[in-house]
Chains A and B, each alone.
Chain A
Amino acid sequence: AQTVTQSQPEMSVQEAETVTLSCTYDTSESDYYLFWYKQPPSRQMILVIRQEAYKQQNATENRFSVNFQKAAKSFSLKISDSQLGDAAMYFCAYTGNQFYFGTGTSLTVIP
């Protein structure tokens, strides 16, 4: 069965520094997509970045980038130049025949 594992329940980073959030997944499917979503406190979940499994090139969106290692089934999120507004719960998600989310990583940004 497919699973998504986020092994870091909590992370913290100094403002302007870089932080990497880890995510691993397990699947036997060959065609799937991976996502990182952000859920700020008391606010809606929003998409941060998306990666197609068939693409070798790592996705980037401004300060957010991923390190996608398909063979290792690893999909980490790097946040550069961290800002106070990046403080949120981050969820890694897998979409294939079904939809799986990790348990989340709570990111604190220290001023």
Chain B
Amino acid sequence: EAGVTQSPTHLIKTRGQQATLRCSPISGHTSVYWYQQALGLGLQFLLWYDEGEERNRGNFPPRFSGRQFPNYSSELNVNALELEDSALYLCASSSGTNANQPQHFGDGTRLSIL
């Protein structure tokens, strides 16, 4: 069974640009979660999508947004990039609409802002 896949592996941008990160969940999983893992800060919850709808979002500004497609894959968009956006962005997926299901993580996208 293929796991959660994320692309690209690395992404280098400059301040003010926009970044798009992609995630494909495990087959059969309908929920996708996005996290930011900055050095020394653990994982910070960004967004939760299920069945194409945004179910919840963390304490991040509106320039962090995303969507979920009919095939349950997801995009995370970050507009007006700032230096502090440099981090590992992890995507996870789970089955069902219950937020208490264990999450399965991808390898992440390393976003570097120059």
Asked if residues A103 and B41 are in contact (CB atoms below 8 Å), the reply is yes
Asked if residues A35 and B43 are in contact (CB atoms below 8 Å), the reply is no
Q: Does A33 sit at the interface, judged by CB under 8 A?
A: yes
User: How many of B's residues come within 8 Å of A, CB to CB?
Assistant: 23
B40, B90, B100, B104 — which one has the most chain A CB atoms within 10 A of its CB?
B100
Q: Does B99 sit at the interface, judged by CB under 8 A?
A: yes
Asked if residues B42 and A46 are in contact (CB atoms below 8 Å), the reply is no
Asked if residues B43 and A91 are in contact (CB atoms below 8 Å), the reply is yes
A45, A47, A103 — which one has the most chain B CB atoms within 10 A of its CB?
A45
Interface size of A as a range: 20 to 34
Task: Compute how far the CA of A75 lies from the CA of B104 in the bound complex, rounded to whole angstroms.
Answer: 21
- The proximity string for A residues 87-103 relative to B, scoring 1 for CB distances below 8 Å and 0 otherwise, is 00001010101111111
Q: Given A44-B107, A50-B102: A102 and B42 within 8 A (CB)?
A: yes
Task: Compute how far the CA of A98 lies from the CA of B10 in the bound complex, rounded to whole angstroms.
Answer: 28
Chain B, 19-71, CB within 8 A of any chain A CB: 33, 35, 40-45, 48, 56, 58
Task: Compute how far the CA of A45 lies from the CA of B104 in the bound complex, rounded to whole angstroms.
Answer: 8
Asked if residues B56 and A97 are in contact (CB atoms below 8 Å), the reply is yes
Asked if residues B45 and A44 are in contact (CB atoms below 8 Å), the reply is no
Q: Does B7 sit at the interface, judged by CB under 8 A?
A: no
- Distance to closest chain B CB from A33 (angstroms): 4
Which of A35, A44, A91, A97 lies in contact with B3, CB distance below 8 A? A44
Q: Determine the chain B residues whose CB is within 8 A of the CB of A102 once the complex forms.
A: 42
Which of B3, B45, B105 lies in contact with A99, CB distance below 8 A? B45
Of chain B, the residue at the smallest CB distance from A101 is B43
Residues of B near any A CB (own CB < 8 A): 3-4, 33, 35, 40-45, 48, 56, 58, 90, 92, 99-100, 102-107
Residues of A near any B CB (own CB < 8 A): 6, 32-33, 35, 37, 43-47, 50, 52, 91, 93, 95, 97-104
